[in-house]
Each structure stands twice: as structure tokens, then as C-alpha cells.
A and B are shown apart, each in its own frame.
Chain A
Amino acid sequence: MSAIPRLPLTRNIRRGAAPFSRAEYEQADGYLAVRDTLGKVEPASLIALIAASGLGGCGGGGFPTGRKWQLMPGKDQRPGPRYLLINADEMEPGTFKDRLLLEGDPHQMIEGIILSAYALQADHAYIFVRGEYLTAIERLNHAIAEAEAAGLIGENILGSGFDLSVQVHGGAGRYICGEETALLNSLEGRRAIPRSKPPFPQVNGLWGCPTIVNNVETICNVPHIVRYGADWYRGLGVNGALGTKIYGVSGRVRNPGTFELPMGTPMRDMIEDHAGGMKDGYRLTAVLPGGASTAFLMAENLDVPMTFADMAKHGTRLGTGTAIVLDDKTCPVGFIANLQQFFARESCGWCAPCRDGLPWVERTLKSIEAGEGRATDLDLLLEMTGNLGPGRTFCALAPGAMASLQSGLQYFGPVFEQHIATKACPWT
């Protein structure tokens, strides 16, 4: 019997070493939750348990997982295939947490899938992994084969009467695949263009069948909640938050990396204690708290607890929870221009404001950075943050792109003006 973990998601992960085999995973009490649940617990009470735990989506949205699951019509209402689709298409710049979970403990992912699929009475699960994650794909396939051999995946699992197939689908690129309806199109062999909602995937997903799309980290929490209960899970957080989170930080900190910490840990603790603070000679100017689609959090607000609600109070979002540090030796205009280059290239091209607007924003920022900006550019950029803002485009990609630009114009206005006035970047 292992002790009750405080940091469940990473308890089996030995960085730099091979992940647990099925035997090692079971030695550490792995698959016990599956053995205790399948055919013994009502699927509906499992959904109720996840709802009671307060587990929220870890892909960036934070939508309550239990509520999402409850929106799927029951098997009696909608007979036919039902799908669980794991979104492992990690491509948000600055985000590298799902890689850790997929490579570090693939059996935890599989156990989460078995339990979640059982709760949803889904008979097929797909793990949509971005094509570049070759190690993750290989380790997942190996873990699936081991689980199948042990009768944990397949027909009539452990004599419970529950059947499940699990398949890894490797992607072929494009950030927009991470949008859940675009993910459905991509898996069906189409261009990854978002679908209009409603209908939501829960009702009309893969091939028109009920489909739940969840992030890797979300589903990795499920075995632990099943095993230790909703109260245990809620008690893991600090500062009023619940559960743990794989946080991370990159940029010019001493020890960039991922850290599982109680949800609600202050940003400062992560950066200073866990990441070792800034490298010598660099000062922190601001951070993007959770990937390229989040707004700047300025240095003076670093004590904010890393929760969805607290980040919102500072005009930004927790996003994926992996922060990117902007340091004092890096030009904020160049930083934002790089982000916009990403979004302009990754626009799926479906709607005109995003397809045409983002390249325009990118070019304008790059010309300012190159010392060729005009005084009128700033008003135009500001206007673009409205034109590409929430509600103006078909999906959230363009509004996400505007988060750094809008907050950047607000916080770094004088830096933009200096570029234009002196016709040069002060950092070069």
C-alpha cells in the first residue's frame, strides 16, 4: 500500500528515466481503481463523484469536467457508438505539461481513460497526440498493449461486461487541432476547422455520435479521485482552490521546468522557489501565466495565486498554467510580434477577420520593431484588438491572440511609442 499522495499526478514519474511498466504501475497500486470500479460501481455515480470533486478542464478552459460529462445523453437515450477523445495535441506556445504526463506515466493516462470511458459508457477512446510527440506515442502504444494483454482494455474487461478499445491517433500539425471541434474534424480526416456550436460534441461529436473531449491532465486526475475520493481531491489545493496542477515556467529562469503543486500556489512561489528565480543578470518584467493566449501579468502582481478566478482579477487567465517569463533584456514589442507571428500562421483560414487580420497585426508589429512604425499604428493596433476580440470571429483563436497585444499596449505603451519616435528598437 502506497501512502495517500499529496501530489498524485507525478508520484510515479522519475524524470529522465523510463516510465513504469504495467507491473511496476500495479505494484504502486495502479489499476486498483479500475479493479474496484468496473462492474461494481454505477457509471452514473462515478460521474457524480467527478462532479463533486470539482475537477476542472486542464486544457486551458477550466470548465467543470463533471458538468461536461453530465451533458452527454445517456446510452438509453442515444444508442450506438460513444466516444472519449483525449486532447493530447499540446501546441500552445510555452506549454509542455502534457508531454510530462504522457511520457512520464502512460499507464496513469490509460487508467484514467478506462475509468472515464466506463463512467460515460463510451466504447471507444482515441488519444489524439500531436505528431511530433514520438516518444509519447511510442510509450502510449506500449502501455496500451500491456493493458490489453492484462485484460484491462478490450472486451468484457475483468469480467465486468464493459468493452473498450483505446487507440492512439498521431496528428500532422496545426495548432487549431487543439480546438475541440476542429479536433473532431481532424480525426475524421478533414481540415481542422472548428465546427459551429451547438450542437456540442457531447451530443454530436465524432461521426455524429456523442463524444467527450478532455485534456490529458484532466483525465490523469480521474484514477486518484476514484481511489481517494472527492474530499481528498478538494483538500489538495491552497488559497481556496482545489486539487493540484502541473504548473511550469520557461524563459530566463534558473531552472525552467514543470512542477506539480497545489492548485492556488502563488506565481511567485513557483518562479522563485521551484524555478530558482531569474538567471543572473535578468529581471522579471512580466509573465504570460498560461501560454500564448493569455494576457500579461506584471511583476508587481506576482503574488497572485495561480487559479482561474485570481488570474481573472488581474485581467488575465490561468490558461494551461505554464508561464512564460518576459525579462528586462527582451523587447516586449518583439515578444508580442513573435506571438502574433504564431497566431497568424496557425489561423485555420476559415473566417476573414482572423485570416486577414492576424497577418496584418504581425506585419505592423514587425515594422514597429524594425524601426519603421508610424504614429498612427498604435491606434490601428488597438482597433484590431476590438475587431478580432471575443464574438468577432468564428472561434477563440483570434481573441486569444489579442490577449497579449491588448494587455501589451496597455502596459508597454511607452515602449511602443519609443520604437516609433526613435525609429529603432531600444533593445538592439
Chain B
Amino acid sequence: MSIVERQPPLDATERAAIAELIAHYPTARAAAIDSLKYVQQRRRYVSDGTLHEVAHLLGMSAAELDEVATFYNLIYRKPVGEKVILLCDSISCWITGRDQLAAHIHQRLGIRQGETTADGRFTLLPIVCLGDCDHAPVMMVGDTLHGNVDTAALDAIFQPAESDTP
């Protein structure tokens, strides 16, 4: 498992970046989501320790910040793989075969919704309509949007990952 379960304390760069985010708003709390997204980008997910530290910088209690963190689906409070696959499960993608794609991902990577591959490369999560329904079925892999996805496209996307692994 390549996922780090414990996260180091925030370093000077991270603290400065969060201070900068706070400066954009009339209240520190308004920078909560920006700050969580920022640390998550660097650490993949927000551990308890990181949450405590960020809460302190925002002048919030850890419980208050966790209330926010656990509400939003793009904030991960548990470890995720290197890349998160967000496979749209809303209506236009459902009509055009997203369930078959989910089945193919399961067959190919061995993961279902909410699971991470054994090599820690991918986590599969459901997502609401990605606003690209004219290219349904749609998914995001990491920061990249993929439209008109079929099983061949899935194979191509997962290919490099496999050839890297000895």
C-alpha cells in the first residue's frame, strides 16, 4: 500500500499559503474550503492531524472544521489513491451506459465504488452530473475530464499505470 496513513505537520510553505487564502475573505472561516482543498492537493486527503492544524489556523475548533469537511464530497477525510476516478452516475450518463463502465472498471482494476486499487493508484467514487452530458458517459480521472467514454477508452486510460508496474 503506497498510501501514507500519517501526515507530517504543516510546513512553513503550507502555513503561508493558508494565511494567503485567509487574506482573500472578510472572515478566516470563509477560507475553510480553499484551505482544505489546498492541503488535500498536497497530501491527497485530510488526516485528523492535518484537520486539527488547519482548524487552528482558521480560528475554528476541529469539530467545526470537520463538520464542513465531512459535508463536501470533494474533501477526502480518508486516504485515497494517487488518482481519484469520478464516474458520473447521473441521468444522461446512466442512459448511455455508465453502469457497464463501472462493471468494466471492476473487472479491470478490481475496485467498486468507494474502493482503492491494491497498488494505491486509483480510487473510484461516484459523482453527480459533471455538466458535460452532451459527451455522456463522462468521468474525471484526477484533474482530467473524459467524455464519450467506452471500455476501449477505459483500457487506454488505465494502460500506462499497468506498464509502469513491474
Contact = CB atoms under 8 A, between A and B. Distances in A.
A189 B71 CA distance: 11
Contacts of A94: 90-92, 129, 133
A403 B32 CA distance: 35
Contact of A189 (B68, B127, B134): B68
Nearest to B140: A132
A175 B128 contact: yes
Given A94-B91, A174-B72, A175-B128, A250 B29 contact: no
Contacts of A174: 71-73
Interface stretch (A31-39, A164-172, A229-237): A164-172
Nearest to B88: A93
A38 B91 CA distance: 44
Nearest to A89: B131
Question: Interface size bucket, A side?
Answer: 35 or more
Given A95-B129, A174-B71, 13 more contacts: A93-B91, A93-B128, A96-B133, A134-B143, A134-B145, A171-B74, A189-B29, A189-B68, A192-B71, A248-B134, A322-B133, A324-B91, A324-B133
B95 interface: yes
Interface in B11-40: 24-27, 29-34, 36-37
Contacts of A135: 145
17 contacts: A96-B129, A99-B131, A131-B74, A132-B140, A132-B145, A134-B143, A171-B72, A189-B25, A189-B33, A251-B92, A256-B92, A256-B134, A292-B129, A335-B91, A338-B90, A338-B94, A342-B90
B129 A188 contact: no
Choose among A132, A207, A248, A252 the residue with the greatest number of B CB atoms under 10 Å from its CB.
A132
B85 interface: no
B109 interface: no
B128 A172 contact: no
Nearest to A165: B24
B130 interface: yes
A393 interface: no
Contact of B136 (A189, A250, A322, A338): A250
A91 interface: yes
